[in-house]
């Protein structure tokens, strides 16, 4: 069975996901594209999906009888409207992070999906599909003993001037917010944010780096360094300190060089390369579930928890290091 897919938002990641569906994965075909910048959709049609029809709006694409399932890869502020429309149409929907830019918006999606009565939404938290994180989770389950501490770092080489302080949370930290509660099988109770001096390559509207300290229900203390102008590469680190031992996220495979009297490993510079295999596996999972008219993997509930936690972290950015509590309602049975 081939699932007919429509993509809303054909920028960096929309184009890359369209490529993997048409050229890498099995079971899906891009039949529809939509972007407020029509030239972007036309370029993806020309390069990747010659048979796709271009729709003037995302809503028209979702309503089309020729579209079985939808990828929402437009800007975060537009996700909620399209995910709600996909649920109303009863169509499986893969939505890039964030599920919505407010916790209220994410809650509206949870409520709509619960009212529909079946999971239709997968959120693009691809790290859960990364082989390194999967191995780390298994080590935490079977070897480290109960976790006590997590030390993590999320470093990007550079960000544009439009990237401002709160984006360190809802654009960047949001990946750790999701993957660490999945890794620990836990939830957060409070957040703090600490700042060292600003790095020289930052700009006036960005505090960079930042250290976010999260505490969990089980009493694990997590520190995450967010450093988005680190310059040297795209670098994701994670170490879990347990009662019996310490487990560390593996480094991506890299050729080791002995050259010029130095022993060296290259470091990646782009998120697309760091998680290329994880994106493939997450979308293959989406296609598999969509063929059965449903969704699996990171859920709307996970997107909602991430939004609540992001809001608390953003509040903590302005609380002079004081902890901000994180509370949420009970998880609906649909997500148990």
Q: Catalog residues that contact ligand NAI under the rule CB under 6 A.
A: 8-14, 34-37, 40, 58, 73-76, 78, 96-97, 124, 126, 171, 271
310 within 8 A of 99, measured Cβ to Cβ: no
How many helices and strands, by DSSP H and E, does the chain display?
A: 11, 15
Least distance CB 57 / ligand NAI (angstroms) = 7
Residue 55 binds: one of ligand ISE, ligand NAI, none (C-beta under 5 to 8 A by kind) = none
From CA 281, how far away is CA 124, in angstroms rounded? 11
Name the residue nearer to ligand NAI (CB basis): 122 or 210.
122
**Which three-class secondary structure state does DSSP give residue 273?**
helix
Strand arrangement, sheet containing 3-8:
53-54, 28-34, 3-8, 69-72, 93-95, 121-123
Q: Is 172 in the site for ligand ISE (CB under 6 A)?
A: yes
What share of residues in the chain are helix, strand, coil (percent, to 5)?
40, 25, 40
Q: Which lies closer to ligand NAI via its Cβ, residue 10 or residue 22?
A: 10
Least distance in angstroms from the C-beta of 172 to ligand ISE: 4
Return the one option of ligand ISE, ligand NAI, none that residue 58 interacts with (CB less than 5 to 8 A, by type): ligand NAI
State in angstroms the smallest separation of the CB of 271 from ligand ISE: 4
Q: Is 171 in the site for ligand ISE (CB under 6 A)?
A: yes
User: Nearest to ligand ISE by Cβ — which residue?
Assistant: 172
Q: How far is the CB of 175 from ligand ISE (least distance, A)?
A: 6
Q: What is the rounded distance in angstroms from the CA atom of residue 321 to the CA atom of residue 191?
A: 9
User: Which range binds ligand ISE by CB under 6 A, 66-74, 168-176, 209-217, 306-314?
Assistant: 168-176
Residues 214-253 that bind ligand ISE (CB under 6 A): 228
Q: Any idea how long the chain is?
A: 336
**By C-beta, is 97 or 192 nearer to ligand NAI?**
97
Query: Any residues with CB less than 8 A from the CB of 51 and at least 6 apart, and which?
Result: 29, 30, 31
Out of ligand ISE, ligand NAI, none, which partner does residue 6 contact, by CB within 5 to 8 A per kind? none
Contact 304, 106 (CB under 8 A): yes
* From the list ligand NAI, ligand ISE, none, partner contacted by residue 314 (C-beta under 5 to 8 A by kind): none
Min dist. Cβ of residue 109 to ligand NAI (A) = 14
317 near ligand ISE, judged by CB under 6 A: no
Q: CA 28, CA 5: separation in Å to the nearest integer?
A: 7
Q: Is 271 in the site for ligand ISE (CB under 6 A)?
A: yes
Residues of span 110-139 touching ligand ISE by CB under 6 A: none
Q: Which does 157 bind (CB under 5 to 8 A by kind): ligand NAI, ligand ISE, none?
A: none
E-only strand ranges, the chain: 3-8, 28-34, 53-54, 69-72, 93-95, 121-123, 147-155, 188-194, 210-216, 221-227, 235-242, 246-248, 256-259, 262-265, 324-325
Distance of alpha carbon 170 from alpha carbon 309, whole angstroms: 9
Residue 124 contact, options ligand NAI, ligand ISE, none, Cβ 5-8 Å cut-off depending on partner type: ligand NAI
Residues lying near ligand ISE in the complex (CB under 6 A) = 156, 171-172, 175, 228, 271
């Amino acid at each position: 069975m081939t699932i007919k897919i429509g993509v809303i938002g054909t920028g960096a990641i929309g184009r890359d996901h369209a490529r993997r569906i048409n050229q890498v994965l099995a079971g899906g075909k891009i039949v529809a594209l939509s972007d407020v910048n029509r030239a972007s959709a036309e370029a993806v049609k020309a390069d990747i999906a010659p048979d796709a029809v271009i729709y003037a709006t995302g809503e028209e694409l979702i309503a089309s009888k020729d579209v079985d399932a939808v990828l929402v890869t437009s800007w975060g502020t537009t996700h909620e409207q399209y995910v709600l429309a996909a649920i109303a149409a009863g169509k499986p929907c893969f939505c890039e992070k964030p599920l919505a830019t407010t916790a209220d918006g994410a809650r509206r999606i949870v409520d709509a999906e619960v009212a529909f009565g079946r999971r239709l939404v997968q959120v693009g938290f691809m790290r859960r599909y990364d082989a390194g994180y999967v191995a780390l989770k298994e080590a935490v389950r079977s070897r480290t003993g109960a976790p006590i501490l997590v030390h993590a770092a999320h470093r990007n080489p550079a960000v544009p001037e439009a990237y401002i302080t709160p984006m360190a949370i809802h654009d960047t930290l949001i990946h750790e917010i999701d993957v660490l509660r999945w890794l620990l099988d836990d939830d957060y109770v409070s957040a703090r944010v600490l700042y060292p001096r600003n790095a020289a390559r930052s700009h006036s509207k960005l505090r960079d780096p930042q250290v976010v300290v999260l505490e969990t229900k089980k009493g694990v203390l997590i520190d995450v360094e967010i450093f988005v102008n680190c310059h040297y590469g795209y670098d994701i680190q994670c170490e879990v300190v347990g009662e019996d031992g310490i487990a560390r996220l593996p480094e991506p495979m890299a050729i080791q060089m002995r050259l010029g009297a130095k022993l060296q490993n290259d470091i990646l510079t782009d998120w697309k390369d760091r998680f290329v295999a994880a994106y493939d596996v997450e979308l293959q999972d989406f296609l598999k579930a969509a063929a059965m008219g449903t969704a699996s993997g990171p859920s709307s509930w996970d997107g909602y928890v991430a939004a609540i936690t992001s809001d608390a972290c953003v509040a903590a950015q302005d609380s002079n290091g004081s902890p901000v509590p994180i509370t949420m309602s009970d998880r609906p049975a649909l997500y148990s």
